[in-house]
Structures are given as structure tokens and as C-alpha cells.
């Protein structure tokens, strides 16, 4: 076809392919790369979950479900949340097509053109783009060098146009986990300013040094999002859930009718089995991988020890941008992601240690040698 200019909508004019996807595409062209780039578990979906989905397909459970999700799954999720938080009432539950789908629904339901959304930098790459697609203005708060939430900066950034604060703990790309005291302080700030908070908890199972604490336990105006992709390796199954103030969840459900329709039916059928599946062995394996990464890179790079998820956000060697170092790493067959994909800075690069121990050890050795040679 001949080249021509098509009249694309302004909202997507500056929307570029994710830097993560670019590295993913690059990996497909390389011969046996050491891929430390993609945030996808290297373990497979546990067999009982697979069997539940297969049986659902065989039963003919292949049609649309209710937009909000099948009753059995929503009831199982609600029961888990009530046990975890001690809630007396049954929370409203919306099953979504991944946390990414939940985020898009929330931003489009809540953000008017010109509304401000506070996001802590570094951040999950979708936050900025989805806020902008909704017409909102991302307000970035720098959390370097240790990725703790800077409470004074968060409060100072709140204006009459502020609609939302986004919290991601355990965090991507930093692996940081906020303490109960930090979350209580965030809740106090949000309460003083009558602010809604999105708590993205997709990595809630991956906490290595202390029990996980959710903002939803501490603040009533929390829109809580969790998913099955990372915890159960169901990345391609596209299923998550969200709860929060009922008027918001109701409107997100209505919008889902006109967008995603529903989460995949066979994935929903397997959801209750997933919630009952013990993943402690996999989490322990990832804690060991985290320790491998920290012990290998803490001295050479000055890595801040990640506490959760399966990422390390590593400072580039002095005198180099992260993009420059990542270019060198890729030339040495190690795929990592430059930090400017996740940040206004280009000072760090992200490692995903969701890979085989042997591959991880090889990659860490190459990164260390490369840094010392530079």
C-alpha cells in the first residue's frame, strides 16, 4: 500500500509503542538471548487451574458472562477480602480484563479533561498513557533514590484539580513495598483532601521480608485492584478484579458493557480454584531470585534492595545514561529495560528476575563484567 497520512485522533497522536514491547519484539529476533526484560512469571499456570478452565470449556462455558463476572467468582473474591480486611459488608466486585483493563475503566469513569492524577515516579508505564487518553494531566512525584513515598511532596502536589492518587505497592519497576506507617500517612493525606486513591496490588503475593499491607485496609475511598496474571502466571488469561466505593464500581461496570464486555468466561470459571491454590513455593523461589540479584549487583551498581514483585531497578554506572548502558547490555545478549520507559529520569534500568536461575546467573555475571569494564 502507498504511504498516506490518515486523520488519527489527537489523543493517540503521541502514543508510541511501549519500550517494553520493543524489547519483547527485539528478543524474538535474537538467538537465545538472556531475557531479563519481561514481567511475566517463568513458572506455568498450576495444573488444577488449567484443569478447571479446560473442564469449563468442555462444559460449554464459552459464552459471554454477566459484565460484572460470574457469581461464583465474585462471591469467592468478596469472601477473601472480608476475611483479609475484617469487612462486615459484602464489597462490590467487578471482574475485569486484567488490571490494565481495570485501570482504563477507572480513569475513564473518574477523570475529566484537565483533572490531575498524582503518580509516583518511577511508575508502571500504562498509568501516564491511560490518564492522558482520558484527558487527564499526570502529576509526577519523584521518589528517587530509595523509592519511598515522599509524603510532603505528595501533599504539596494536591490542587483543586487533583482527582486521584495512584499507589502501586509492591511496585513495578522498583520492587518497593510501602510500610503500614507509610500507607497510614498516605491515607491521612487522602482523607484530609477528600482524595480517591487507586491501589494497584497486582504483585500482592510477592512480598519477601514482611507481611503485605493493603491501603484498602486503612482508607475507605480506595479503589483496590488485584489480578491473577502475576500470582498464578495467568498473564494471557486476562483476568483481574476491582472493588471500592459502590457508585464508582457500578459506573465502571456500565462502561465495561460498552468496552471489554466481560473477562474471558473460561478464565472466570477457573478463578475460584486459583484463589484456593497455594503459591508459597513459587513465591519462595522468587525470594531466592531476588536475593541472587541483590547480592550480585548491590556493590557494583549500588542497588537498593527490592522487597517485592519480581523486579530490580538498578542504577546505571556513573557517567552513563541507562539507555547507553542498556544498549551495551543488549549488544552482550542481555535484554533489560531502560528506566526512561518508567520514569522522567534515565538513570536506572529494570531487571525482571522472572526467569530460570541459570539464565539469571548468566545475565548478572555479564552485567557485572560490563559495568566493571566501563
Q: What is the pLDDT of residues 288-323, one digit of tens each?
A: 999 999 999 999 999 999 999 999 999 999 999 999
Q: Is the per-residue pLDDT at 17 higher than 90?
A: no
Length of the chain: 374
Q: 334: part of which helix (H) or strand (E)? A: strand 334-335
Residue 222: the pLDDT is: 98
Handedness of CA 340, 116, 38, 293 (dihedral sign): positive
pLDDT in tens, 72-120: 999 999 999 999 999 999 999 999 999 999 999 999 999 999 999 999 9
Q: Is the per-residue pLDDT at 23 higher than 80?
A: no
Residue 19: the pLDDT is: 55
Rg from Cα positions in the chain: 21
Residue 29: the pLDDT is: 72
- On whether the 10-38+279-373 domain is CATH 3.90.1150.10, my answer is yes
Residue 130: the pLDDT is: 96
Q: Is the per-residue pLDDT at 346 higher than 90?
A: yes
Asked whether this chain's domains 10-38+279-373 and 63-275 adopt the same fold, the reply is no
* Cell numbers 461496570: residue: 253
Which pLDDT band holds residue 11 (cuts at 50, 70, 90)?
A: confident
Residue 25: the pLDDT is: 63
Tell me the sheet residues that pair with 207: 308
pLDDT in tens, 38-76: 889 999 999 999 999 999 999 999 999 999 999 999 999
Domain ranges of the chain: 10-38+279-373, 63-275
Do 272 and 126 touch, CB atoms closer than 8 A?
Answer: no
Nearest-angstrom CA–CA distance, 64 and 54: 17
Mean pLDDT of 278-283: 97
pLDDT in tens, 184-213: 999 999 999 999 999 999 999 999 999 999
Q: Is the per-residue pLDDT at 2 higher than 60?
A: no
Do 69 and 84 touch, CB atoms closer than 8 A?
Answer: no
Closest to 101 in 3D by CA, of 264, 281, 282: 264
User: Is 0.85 surpassed by the pTM of this model?
Assistant: yes
Q: Which fold has domain 63-275?
A: 3.40.640
Nearest-angstrom CA–CA distance, 143 and 121: 6
Residue 21: the pLDDT is: 58
Amino acid at each position: 500500500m502507498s504511504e498516506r497520512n490518515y486523520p488519527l485522533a489527537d489523543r493517540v497522536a503521541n502514543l508510541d509503542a511501549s519500550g517494553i514491547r520493543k524489547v519483547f519484539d527485539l528478543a524474538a529476533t535474537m538467538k537465545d538471548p538472556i531475557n531479563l526484560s519481561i514481567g511475566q512469571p517463568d513458572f506455568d499456570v498450576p495444573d488444577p487451574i488449567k484443569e478447571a478452565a479446560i473442564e469449563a470449556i468442555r462444559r460449554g462455558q464459552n459464552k459471554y458472562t454477566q459484565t460484572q463476572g460470574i457469581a461464583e467468582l465474585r462471591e469467592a473474591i468478596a469472601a477473601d477480602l472480608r476475611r483479609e480486611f475484617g469487612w462486615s459488608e459484602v464489597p462490590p466486585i467487578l471482574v475485569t480484563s486484567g488490571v490494565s483493563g481495570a485501570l482504563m475503566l477507572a480513569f475513564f469513569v473518574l477523570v475529566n479533561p484537565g483533572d490531575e492524577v498524582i503518580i509516583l515516579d518511577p511508575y508502571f508505564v500504562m498509568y501516564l498513557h491511560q490518564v492522558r487518553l482520558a484527558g487527564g494531566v499526570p502529576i509526577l512525584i519523584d521518589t528517587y533514590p530509595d523509592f519511598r513515598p515522599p509524603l510532603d511532596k505528595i501533599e504539596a502536589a494536591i490542587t483543586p484539580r487533583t482527582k486521584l492518587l495512584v499507589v502501586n505497592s509492591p511496585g513495578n519497576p522498583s520492587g518497593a513495598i510501602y510500610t503500614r506507617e507509610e500507607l497510614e500517612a498516605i491515607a491521612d493525606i487522602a482523607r484530609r483532601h477528600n482524595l480517591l486513591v487507586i491501589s494497584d496490588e497486582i504483585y500482592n503475593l510477592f512480598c519477601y521480608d514482611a507481611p503485605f499491607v493493603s491501603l484498602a485496609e486503612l482508607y475507605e475511598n480506595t479503589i483496590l485492584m488485584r489480578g491473577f496474571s502475576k500470582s498464578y502466571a495467568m498473564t494471557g488469561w486476562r483476568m483481574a478484579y476491582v472493588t471500592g466505593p459502590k457508585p464508582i464500581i457500578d459506573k465502571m461496570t456500565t462502561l465495561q458493557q460498552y468496552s471489554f464486555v466481560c473477562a474471558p468466561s473460561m478464565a472466570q470459571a477457573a478463578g475460584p480454584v486459583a484463589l484456593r491454590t497455594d503459591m508459597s513455593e513459587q513465591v519462595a523461589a522468587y525470594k531466592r531470585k531476588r536475593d541472587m540479584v541483590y547480592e550480585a549487583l548491590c556493590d557494583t551498581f549500588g542497588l537498593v534492595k527490592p522487597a517485592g514483585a519480581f523486579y530490580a531497578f538498578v542504577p546505571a554506572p556513573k557517567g552513563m545514561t541507562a539507555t547507553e548502558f542498556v544498549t551495551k547490555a543488549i549488544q552482550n545478549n542481555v535484554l533489560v529495560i531502560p528506566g526512561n520507559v518508567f520514569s522522567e529520569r534515565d538513570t536506572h534500568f529494570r531487571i525482571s528476575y522472572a526467569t530460570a536461575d541459570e539464565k539469571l546467573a548468566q545475565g548478572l555475571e555479564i552485567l557485572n563484567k560490563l559495568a566493571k569494564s566501563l
